Amino acid sequence: MEARLLALGLDNAGKTTLLKCLSGEDITNIVPTQGFVLKSMLRADFKLIFWDISGQRALRPYWRNYFLRIDALIYVVDCVDRRRIIEAGEELMQILEEEKLEKVPLLVFANKQDSVFALPANEVPTRLLQQ
Ligand SMILES: Nc1nc2c(ncn2[C@@H]2O[C@H](COP(=O)(O)OP(=O)(O)OP(=O)(O)O)[C@@H](O)[C@H]2O)c(=O)[nH]1
Ligand SMILES: [Mg+2]
């Protein structure tokens, strides 16, 4: 069995860190992703293929190039960066308008909950939707 997952979210949200954590890699020296990184993880007889895409504003128009044949979408939100929560919401809304993603399950990952300044995870959906 094989599943293709796409990680999206604003720059600095923590996509690369999350994926490296999942694959048990060192997370001490993570740099902003340039373009995209393809990551493969084998779990028992299950293969997970992750597309880790840059969240930099200039590269966001390219997100849609990865929407084909995706089994799930993980949208990572930096809960400490309250200033950009509306921007994160706007980008998410644009993604959800894509026909190719119509039937694709979405996980919104309320990241950086270890920080005392983080917006609590249960408040994230409402804040993302406020425009
Ligand atoms: N406190 C805290 N910091 C985190 C967490 N996850 C990521 N970070 C930090 O957030 C910064 C950005 O992490 P990245 O994983 O590079 O973010 P990204 O979403 O891949 O960013 P781009 O590749 O530029 O799109 C780094 O300094 C990480 O150490 C978290 O759960 N808690
Ligand atoms: Mg990255």
Is the distance from the beta carbon of residue 88 to the nearest atom of ligand 1 less than 6 Å?
no
The CA–CA distances, whole Å, from 19 to 6, 39, 48, 100 equal 11, 8, 11, 23
Render pLDDT for 79-120 as a digit per residue (tens, 0 to 9): 999 999 999 999 999 999 999 999 999 999 999 999 999 999
Q: Which two tokens stand for residue 75?
A: 């949208």
CB of 11 closer than 6 A to ligand 1? yes
Do 101 and 70 touch, CB atoms closer than 8 A?
yes
Question: Catalytic residues, which ones?
Answer: 56
Q: Give this prediction's pTM.
A: 0.97
Q: What length is written for the chain?
A: 131
What CATH number does the domain containing 81 carry?
3.40.50.300
How many C-beta neighbours within 10 Å does residue 115 have? 11
Rounded to the nearest angstrom, the distance between the alpha carbon of 67 and the centre of ligand 1 is 23
Structural domain total, the chain: 1
**Which protein residue has the closest C-alpha to ligand 1 atom 28?**
14
Q: Which domain holds residue 15?
A: 2-129
Is residue 14's pLDDT more than 80?
yes
